[in-house]
Structure 1
Amino acid sequence: MREILASSWVVTTLAIVLALIISGVLIAAADQEVQDAAVYLFAKPADFFSAAWHAVSSAYVALFQGAVFDSTADTFAQKIKPLTETLTVSTPLILAGLGLGIGFRAGLFNIGAQGQIILGAVFGGFIGFTFDLPPGLHLLLAMLGAAIGGGLWAGVAGVLKARTGAHEVIVTIMLNSIAVYLIAYLLTTKPFQNPGSSNPISPPIPESAQYPLLLGDQFRLHAGFIVAILAAVFVWWLMGRSTIGFKWRAVGSNPHAARTAGISVNSAYIWVMVTAGALAGLAGSAQVLGTDKVLTADVAASFGFDAITVALLGRSKPFGTFLAGLLFGALRAGGFAMQARTGTPIDIVLVVQSLVVLFIAAPPLVRAVFRLPAPGTRRTRTPRSSTKEVAA
């Protein structure tokens, strides 16, 4: 039992629970009825606690109904639509998080997923709305273009890291800013601007280059989610079963020892970044070819930055990152319903995400709150004295 309680997944789960508890306190504090009841707290404490419980429970129920299952809806399709929205929003988070997780395990703190998503969307979107190709082939080429765009953009940081020693954090931050201004400029040029419109928006993606819908026109869930599942399986095989993944993990554990063992550390840095960028580029393709079906300056939203949290919460492991992406997708999808139905500020969702990161980054704090044993501790058993020893 002590080994189970000391495991990382228990700490991760309790970090999420602790974040929800603290966020619940903030929800109660922001509720007007709770504030009114607090005026006469000592006269009628039951009113205060009843109002606080109602505020927190109704907010989290609305969050669940907006993210998983809406029991108040009239039809079954409307009841499960929140779940499909969660899966749709989770897709770019999972893909970008998988790429960042590869970098983290290889010792590279790549925080440039935002720019890599943008470049992937630019390449994939351009192939999508420019060329007229048969269905299937058109989508595959657009996906390939998105992966190449993201990979090339991340490869810049990898090459600079390998050749000059430039820190990947600084380089990827700069590349994020360049990507933001680059897409803003491109959308003002003739090849990227929608004919007859002065707005910074591209022509719509034709159906031949779109991810097919999985559940029909009434849902936004598309085949990009299947791509995310396949990407998670690929990353599991790459990092856990392949020779290349072993070398990358060795570089992340100790680059000096890896170099002594004959592993090309510089080459590993480049290809890790290219692979991570390709996955982030596919995240961009999920947005432009599946969800939005058009290229805009806000195509990446905040997915690139949220993916950092997803990778950290998932411990940079494929399965953990997949589940973390689903969790954060549920928070994003359900946050709007929570705000609309209860008036709870949607910023509470950001508070939950921030607290999760805080507690994930400080496992001793979580263990101290829940009185969990530290990893590696074992309870020592005092051997019982034998009957002969007692008699003696």
Structure 2
Amino acid sequence: MHNGEKTPLIRLAKRESMSAAAQWGIRVAAILLALVVGGLVILLSGNDPIQGYATIVKGALGRTSGVRQTALAIAPCFKMRFWNIGAEGQITAGAMCATYFALFWADRLPQVPLLLIMCAAAAIGGGIWALIPAFFKAKWGTNETLFTLMMNYIIIGVVKWLQGGPWEKIPRGSQQIAQFASNACLPRVAGVYCGWIVVLVLTVLMFLYMRYTKHGYEIAVIGESETTARYAGMNVGWIIMRTMFLSGAIAGIVGFLLASGANNTLYSGVANNAGFTAITVAWLAQLNPFAMVGISALLAVLQKGADTLNTQMAIPVSLSDVITGVLLFFMLGCEFFINYRLILRGSEERHARKEAAK
């Protein structure tokens, strides 16, 4: 009795193992519960939940713009095991570098060479923007979380200055950058901007890079233990910088896709929180590139499709955020139950007695 009083009523314990089937069963159940709770939210607003979900799907996939935005919302970054919170800024830096060539080189080059240069410039710009905090991390051990977060606001401020300064369209006073020329815009494939093809190619390349190359192995080792990596003779500082440059380059390419495909111009909010959303996506996907595509697509369907609820069913726009939040809550919660189990007071003793009785 004395020991029982000291034992908490409920405590957590790390699961030693769980079958893949059980894990996916929990994930599917979590999504279904999220849809039920989201349906109740729609019902409380005085609307039919089935019709509401049908409107969401139709809004995301039933129009060309919805398909385009859904594809471009997929940002396969944060594969690396470092707390890079700067993808928002790296996307913006990439978009800014691509925009320079769109504004000042469009009259000199045909479409294909121009787009290739814009993509390369975006990758280099995003990579360099990520390399700056990586260098400080490798050289002086600075906190990459705070450093990369602050870098976001710096580059966004630079773009705001460009909007109202050197790159502001004529006549002055609009605080906007001019629309890109037609040869600086991504072409369409089957009625959709071809950026989705680039994203899928990057996803496959990232999977192969992380799974089958020496660099990918080094990243995994450092992610598990820097001490082990150093003991094995790895140059940890160099690997950190190389990895962060690659991560930033991918984010920069996403910025190019957003500027040249989705928006056809540059503005300070070009990333549209894609970098912050990618953190959640990467965590939920367990850093698997193909899982990132599926989860990103699911979130994009909700975020883009739910916007039509307001116009077609007079549901407040904020409800789309509530529904998305409910889905994320259940998806994050299910990962908790996959990794941990709840133990009630006395349950282990009862289980042991049952096993002994057998």
Distance 1:359 1:257, change over 3 A: farther
1:109 is aligned, of 83, 96, 100, to 83
Question: Which residue does the alignment assign to 1:193?
Answer: 168
CA offsets per residue over residues 340-368 of structure 1, 9 Å max, x none? 11122232332233334333433366569
Distance 1:66 1:277, change over 3 A: same
Shift of 1:25: 2.1
Q: Give matches, 1:275-354, under 5 Å.
A: 275-354=246-325
Range 338-347 or range 228-237, more displaced: 338-347
1:214 is aligned, of 189, 203, 208, to 189
Question: Which residue does the alignment assign to 1:88?
Answer: 68
Distance 1:260 1:332, change over 3 A: same
Question: Which residue does the alignment assign to 1:151?
Answer: 127
In structure 2, list runs of 5 or more residues that go unmatched.
1-17, 343-354
Question: Which residue does the alignment assign to 2:39?
Answer: 24
Shift of 1:21: 2.0
Contact persistence 1:92–1:284 (CA under 8 A):
no
2-structure distance, mates of 1:253, 1:11: 26
Q: Which amino acid aligns with 2:328?
A: V
Range 55-64 or range 349-358, more displaced: 349-358
Q: Which has the higher contact order (CA 8 A, sep 6+)?
A: 2
- Give the % identical residues: 26
Question: Which residue does the alignment assign to 2:28?
Answer: 13
When normalised by structure 2's length, the TM-score is: 0.84
Question: Which residue does the alignment assign to 1:37?
Answer: none
Question: Which residue does the alignment assign to 2:8?
Answer: none
Q: Which amino acid aligns with 2:198?
A: V
Distance 1:293 1:362, change over 3 A: same
Q: Give the secondary-structure state (helix, strand or coil) at the position aligned to 1:361.
A: helix
2-structure distance, mates of 1:13, 1:275: 33
Question: Which residue does the alignment assign to 2:177?
Answer: 202
CA offsets per residue over residues 38-65 of structure 1, 9 Å max, x none? xxxxxxxxxxxxxxxx522221111122
2:55 is aligned, of 54, 57, 62, to 62
Q: Give the secondary-structure state (helix, strand or coil) at the position aligned to 1:94.
A: coil
| Aligned-residue RMSD, C-alpha | 2.3
Contact persistence 2:77–2:278 (CA under 8 A):
no
Contact persistence 2:70–2:304 (CA under 8 A):
no
Distance 1:22 1:170, change over 3 A: same
Distance 1:267 1:18, change over 3 A: farther
Range 230-239 or range 171-180, more displaced: 171-180
When normalised by structure 1's length, the TM-score is: 0.77
Q: Give the secondary-structure state (helix, strand or coil) at the position aligned to 2:164.
A: coil
Q: How many residues align?
A: 323
Q: Give the secondary-structure state (helix, strand or coil) at the position aligned to 1:200.
A: coil
In structure 1, list runs of 5 or more residues that go unmatched.
32-53, 70-80, 372-381, 383-392
Q: Which amino acid aligns with 2:44?
A: A
Matched, 1:226 2:234: no
Question: Which residue does the alignment assign to 1:35?
Answer: none
Distance 1:176 1:15, change over 3 A: farther
1-structure distance, mates of 2:143, 2:254: 24
Shift of 1:91: 3.5
